[in-house]
């Protein structure tokens, strides 16, 4: 059952506000009863009371600028079009892309070996201008299929757990579009930051994984509600600020010791993603009226974001 974001009442049939993304009971479903962020557009005919109808109905046959632009697109961008399936579901779309990418990594490795695999999916200090890897490396993870015992599978599993549980919370507050931008930008900058510090330390390396984006998501949640209680393994209650702080502390210690990729984990990528998330979370907190839940259950795998051990294979890859 869902819980009202205002009073905490459990509702079997909750109301979801399309303006702020919150979940409410019948008593707090109206925008004025839950301090909806959309109230700032109260006097805007295209804001709170936007009916969604074509402006030409009351405009003598003329269409709005927004309608004329979207009408030129080759796909239906309306609420009933194909893009509607992605609104509110970008978290799950990214998770699906991660696992599909893993299958693509396996096929590339079978067909062309490590050379093809690394060219397509691995962001490296040797080839930083392979711009496509700025994005593909976010969704690619440790190639466990080529490792003894397949232990590297915990890399993608743990990142999937963090994104699955925390991603929808952030997406609900900032919207699917901004969530997608946060995910891609933080993931790409995290990877670039990792190979940058590795090169500065004279240790060329390569990276892959979504931990930078996952830490950005955790950073946003930490700012919006630092006392959010996360139940590790559904038993151990831990405030999220402690989890986030410990992750940052470990990364800083490794980087300070000149081991930004210590243990096969991309610590600089973690730190960059976290800083982006904290900064963006502070921006959201100052500019929007959002609420985060007070407790959360998370049953994860071993290790921190990025999982245990190295991904295997040549090139000194760092998982993040």
- Please tell me the distance from the alpha carbon of residue 68 to that of residue 45, in angstroms, as a whole number: 18
Mean pLDDT, range 253-278, rounded to an integer: 75
Residues 200 and 273 in one domain: yes
Residues 27 and 118 in one domain: no
Looking up residue 18, the CATH number of its domain turns out to be 4.10.1110.10
| Number of other residues whose CB lies within 10 A of the CB of residue 69 | 11
Residues 159 and 254 in one domain: yes
Band of residue 20 on the pLDDT scale cut at 50, 70, 90 = confident
Domain that holds residue 26: 1-36
Q: Is residue 268 part of a domain?
A: yes
Residues 177 and 278 in one domain: yes
Residues 159 and 27 in one domain: no
Q: Is residue 295 part of a domain?
A: no
Residues 209 and 273 in one domain: yes
Lowest mean pLDDT across 68-72, 245-249, 276-280 = 68-72
pLDDT digits (tens, 9 = 90+) for 129-159: 999 999 999 999 988 877 766 667 888 998 9
Q: Is residue 122 part of a domain?
A: yes
pLDDT digits (tens, 9 = 90+) for 300-318: 333 333 333 333 333 445 4
Q: Is residue 292 part of a domain?
A: no
- Whether 319 and 310 have beta carbons less than 8 Å apart is answered as yes
- Whether 212 and 269 have beta carbons less than 8 Å apart is answered as yes
Residues 197 and 253 in one domain: yes
Is the confidence at residue 123, as pLDDT, over 90? Answer: yes
Mean pLDDT, range 173-193, rounded to an integer: 93
Number of domains in the chain: 2
Q: Is residue 236 part of a domain?
A: yes
Is the confidence at residue 64, as pLDDT, over 50? Answer: no
Residues 91 and 154 in one domain: yes
Residues 87 and 236 in one domain: yes
Q: Is residue 266 part of a domain?
A: yes
Lowest mean pLDDT across 22-26, 155-159, 167-171 = 22-26
Residues 114 and 227 in one domain: yes
Residues 270 and 175 in one domain: yes
pLDDT digits (tens, 9 = 90+) for 199-253: 887 777 888 999 999 999 999 999 988 888 888 777 788 888 998 888 888 878 8
Looking up residue 164, the CATH number of its domain turns out to be 1.20.1540.10
Residues 28 and 156 in one domain: no
- Please tell me the distance from the alpha carbon of residue 227 to that of residue 218, in angstroms, as a whole number: 13
Q: Is residue 53 part of a domain?
A: no
Q: Is residue 75 part of a domain?
A: no
Q: Which runs of E-coded beta strand occur in the chain?
A: 2-3, 10-11, 15-16, 23-24, 123-124, 206-208, 229-232, 236-239, 295-298, 317-319
| Among 116, 120, 114, CA closest to 136 | 120
């Amino acid at each position: 059952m869902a819980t009202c974001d205002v009073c905490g009442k459990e509702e079997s049939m909750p109301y979801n506000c399309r303006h702020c993304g919150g979940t409410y009971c019948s008593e707090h479903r109206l925008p004025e009863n839950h301090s909806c962020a959309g109230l700032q557009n109260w006097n805007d005919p295209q804001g709170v009371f936007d009916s969604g109808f074509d402006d030409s109905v009351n405009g003598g046959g003329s269409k709005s600028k927004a309608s004329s632009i979207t009408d030129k697109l080759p796909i239906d961008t309306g609420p009933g079009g194909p893009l509607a399936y992605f609104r509110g579901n970008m978290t799950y779309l990214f998770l699906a892309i991660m696992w599909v990418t893993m299958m693509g990594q396996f096929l590339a490795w079978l067909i062309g070996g490590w050379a093809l695999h690394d060219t397509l999916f691995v962001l490296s200090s040797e080839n930083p201008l392979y711009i496509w890897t700025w994005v593909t490396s976010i969704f690619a993870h440790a190639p466990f299929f080529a490792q003894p015992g397949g232990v590297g599978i915990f890399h993608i599993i743990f990142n999937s757990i963090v994104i699955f549980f925390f991603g929808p919370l952030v997406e609900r507050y900032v919207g699917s579009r901004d969530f997608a931008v946060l995910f891609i930008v933080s993931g790409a900058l995290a990877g670039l930051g990792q190979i940058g510090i590795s090169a500065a330390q004279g240790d060329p390396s390569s990276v892959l994984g979504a931990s930078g984006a996952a830490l950005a998501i955790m950073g946003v949640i930490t700012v919006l509600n630092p006392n959010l209680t996360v139940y590790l393994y559904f038993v151990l209650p831990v405030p999220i600020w402690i989890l986030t702080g410990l992750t940052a502390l470990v990364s800083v210690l490794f980087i300070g010791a000149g081991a930004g990729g210590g243990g096969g984990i991309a610590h600089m990528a973690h730190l960059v993603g976290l800083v982006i998330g904290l900064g963006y979370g502070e921006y959201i907190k100052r500019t929007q009226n959002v609420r985060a839940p007070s407790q959360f259950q998370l049953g994860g795998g071993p290790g921190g974001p990025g999982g245990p051990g190295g991904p295997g294979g040549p090139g000194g890859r760092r998982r993040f």
